[in-house]
Amino acid sequence: MKRLILVALLVGTAIGYIAVRAIGSTPVGTDRSPAAFVQSPAAPAETPAGTRETPARSSALVPAAALCDPDLLLAAVVAAGPAPEGLYWASVEVANCRNGYARVWAITGGTPPPGIQLEGSEQVFLKDVGGTWQVFTSGSGLDCVSEPLGPDMKEACEALGLH
């Protein structure tokens, strides 16, 4: 019986490891570890003869891309500003997240004051800035099909595959 339990634990661990490697995910909270920083490609250097020479590696470190983790996205929403009166940001539902941009529905918790009718969520667009999510716009009337789109919104919509 002990052998069966041990085998089951080992198989479960191996499957979990394979699944995490296939997704390319890292555990929450490790995005700021030294391993999350990658070598940036070195810029080609001009030689006296005018030809370009590219060094093999650069010693400059840049933060890795921010993970599309709901907890990290929620933290950015909370940091960007308070929820409507009497409410708080309880969670986010990730609608789209790729290429350094995310679109989420920020879900409120709590009870609004009497007489106030609120939708239970707010659409939020976020941008990966140096490996950290930052809110750049929010609102229920935002979309990626109405013209004209501002340059920031157009860039986000294209990155998310929505325009």
What is residue 119's predicted lDDT score, i.e. its pLDDT?
67
**DSSP letter assigned to residue 35:** G
What is residue 1's predicted lDDT score, i.e. its pLDDT?
45
What is residue 39's predicted lDDT score, i.e. its pLDDT?
39
What is residue 130's predicted lDDT score, i.e. its pLDDT?
92
What is residue 134's predicted lDDT score, i.e. its pLDDT?
96
Name the strand (E) or helix (H) holding 17: helix 2-23
In this structure, are strands 132-138 and 61-63 parallel, antiparallel, or unpaired?
Answer: unpaired
State the Cα–Cα distance between residues 6 and 17, nearest whole angstrom.
Answer: 17
What is residue 49's predicted lDDT score, i.e. its pLDDT?
54
Q: pLDDT digit string (tens) for 42-80?
A: 444 444 555 555 445 545 565 677 899 999 999 999 999
pTM of the shown model: 0.59
CA 7 to chain centre: 36
Report residues of the chain scoring pLDDT below 70: 1-63, 116-119
Query: What does the domain layout of the chain look like in residue ranges?
Result: 2-63, 70-159
What is residue 30's predicted lDDT score, i.e. its pLDDT?
34
